[in-house]
């Protein structure tokens, strides 16, 4: 069963989340101080992190940035669980690589559902596919090893960004609405809004496009959604 690291300086909340996840069969690790999280991730190798933002010594945003900057942990899924409910905070959290974002107070059942959704998405991304690689104008995607390069330069993407790129690149030229992308990338039982599609598209473009204002790979179809560039 998956191992989940719960990072929250409020011990009661960490204990509550841990108790309910373990009832569902998950293995949990708890950390109450941001300064020890990166060492714990390295030593314990969790499958998912539930991460608070307001932490002593090192805040959640900096932890998320450090995890995404490390090639060994760049694909580690992160669910942010925080009292900061401003939309700006949510967007920042998603833009720096969080896979999901929940605000306190929260429903334990909803949190568990989101954990299942994110872990299932990761497992689905590991399933073998018939076509192993994709190449287009300097962009090379290996669907099996989950690696991406642009003009030979390795690109580090979060699990959600990878799945988004995989989905669009497997259907070049076809236009998808935000709702369709939500269903295919996040799943039917997602709690994510269509605004998150725009956030993740923007972050994906920042990693693979040479000019975000004039994208070459992921194109916007005004009034409808997005598509991968048509291959001629």
97 token code pair:
């690589």
CA distance linking residue 90 with residue 55, whole number of Å: 17
Residue for token pair 């030593």: 43
- Please state the rounded mean pLDDT for residues 160-185: 91
Question: How many independent structural domains does the chain possess?
Answer: 2
Using the predicted structure, report yes or no on whether residue 171 has a pLDDT greater than 80: yes
Are 119 and 191 in the same domain?
no
Q: Last residue of a domain, which of 62, 92, 126?
A: 126
Q: Are 78 and 97 in contact (CB under 8 A)?
A: yes
Q: Does 186 lie in the same domain as 140?
A: yes
Please tell me the pTM assigned to this model.
Answer: 0.64
Paired tokens of 210: 């040479």
Note down the domain range covering 219: 133-228
- Residues 14 and 118 grouped into a single domain: yes
Indicate if 88 and 157 belong to the same structural domain.
Answer: no
State the Cα torsion 120-94-193-121 to the nearest 10°. Answer: -10
Last residue within a domain, chosen from 126, 157, 175: 126
Of the CA atoms within 13 Å of residue 42, those in its CB half-sphere come to: 8
Q: From CA 84, how far away is CA 74, in angstroms rounded? A: 24
pLDDT tens digit sequence for 202-215? 999 999 999 988 99
Residues 7 and 121 in one domain: yes
| Residue range 36-77, pLDDT digits in tens | 899 999 999 999 999 998 899 999 999 999 999 898 998 899
Q: What CATH code is carried by the domain that includes residue 186?
A: 1.10.10.10
């Amino acid at each position: 069963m998956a191992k989940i690291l719960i990072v929250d300086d409020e011990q009661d909340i960490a204990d509550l989340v841990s108790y309910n996840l373990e009832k569902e069969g998950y293995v949990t690790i708890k950390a109450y101080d941001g300064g020890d999280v990166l060492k714990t991730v390295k030593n314990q190798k969790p499958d998912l992190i539930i991460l608070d933002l307001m932490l002593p010594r090192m805040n959640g945003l900096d932890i998320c940035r450090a995890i995404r900057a490390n090639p060994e942990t760049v694909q580690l899924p992160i669910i942010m669980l925080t009292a900061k409910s401003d939309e700006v905070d949510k967007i920042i959290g998603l833009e720096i690589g969080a896979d999901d974002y929940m605000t306190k107070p929260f429903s334990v059942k909803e949190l568990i559902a989101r954990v299942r959704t994110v872990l299932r998405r990761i497992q689905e991304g590991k399933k073998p596919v018939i076509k192993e690689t994709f190449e287009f104008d300097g962009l090379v995607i290996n669907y099996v090893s989950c690696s991406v390069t642009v003009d030979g330069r390795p690109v580090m993407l979060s699990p959600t960004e990878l799945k988004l790129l995989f989905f669009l690149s497997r259907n070049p030229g076809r236009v998808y609405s935000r709702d369709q992308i939500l269903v295919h990338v996040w799943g039917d039982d997602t709690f994510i809004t269509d605004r998150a599609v725009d956030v993740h598209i923007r972050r994906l473009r920042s990693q693979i496009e040479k000019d975000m204002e004039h994208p070459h790979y992921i194109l916007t179809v005004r009034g409808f959604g997005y598509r991968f560039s048509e291959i001629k």
